[in-house]
Amino acid sequence: MDRCSIIVHSVNGNSYIIATFLQELLVERGVDARLYRVEDADLHIWANKSDAANDFYEEIQALPVANESTLLKSGMVILGCPTTFGNVSAEMKAFMDSTYELAMNRSLEGRYFACFTSCDNSIAEGAFCIDSLVHYAQTMGLIHIPLGMHGNLARANQPVSGIVHLAGKDSTIRPSQELGDVLAAYVDTLASYVKTE
């Protein structure tokens, strides 16, 4: 069975909640889905300033840190992070930059990719972040699996490229059941690409 590595940067817990739900859904469908985090040296500072950040601090810190080896062992990579000024978070960008050598030697070419983000209040802003993640995947030679269109989920107003969660001004709005339905539809598609034996 091909491994699916879900690599997350989460400050206020929303990206972590999405990542853990994706993992749960993928495992239910027989996928070897594993959860990792990117390095964030300032997370303890945010946890001391914000109840939302403190809610999942220990759980996030307990995750193994992703590295090049994590990617090389993966048949599918899912990246998720907060949106910052319409782009990926600085910590996710640092992780992406650290894998530049894999882009140069095309080590990940032909493997699968998906992505998600959590942002304050604009699907459009989140879609810009998703675009950055997809561009990274294309540079790495990964095959992006989009969310696509789902008629029964049209009211969820998601971009076709990935998942966007709207967390509100203080990032305190947690992912909803409606978002869970969208994630389940996405996972049905993603799981069909990961080979099982």
Residue 149 is assigned to a structural domain of this protein = yes
Domain limits for position 64: 3-180
Is 146 a member of any domain? yes
Domain annotation covers residue 78 = yes
- Domain-located, residue 164: yes
Number of domains in the chain: 1
In a domain, 84, yes or no: yes
Question: Tokens 């840190």 label which residue?
Answer: 65
Residue 196 lies in a domain: no
Instruction: Check which CATH number belongs to the domain holding 90 and give it.
Output: 3.40.50.360
Is the pTM of the predicted complex or chain greater than 0.85? yes
- Cα–chain center distance at 8: 5
* Assigned domain for 23 exists: yes
Residue of 21, 50, 14, 46 lying closest to 35 (CA atoms): 21
Query: Is 190 a member of any domain?
Result: no
**Tens digit of pLDDT at every position of the chain (197 positions):** 589 999 999 998 999 999 999 999 999 999 999 999 999 988 777 777 777 678 888 999 999 999 999 999 999 999 999 999 999 999 999 999 999 999 999 999 999 999 999 998 888 899 999 999 999 999 999 999 999 876 666 566 788 899 999 998 888 889 988 889 999 999 999 999 986 55
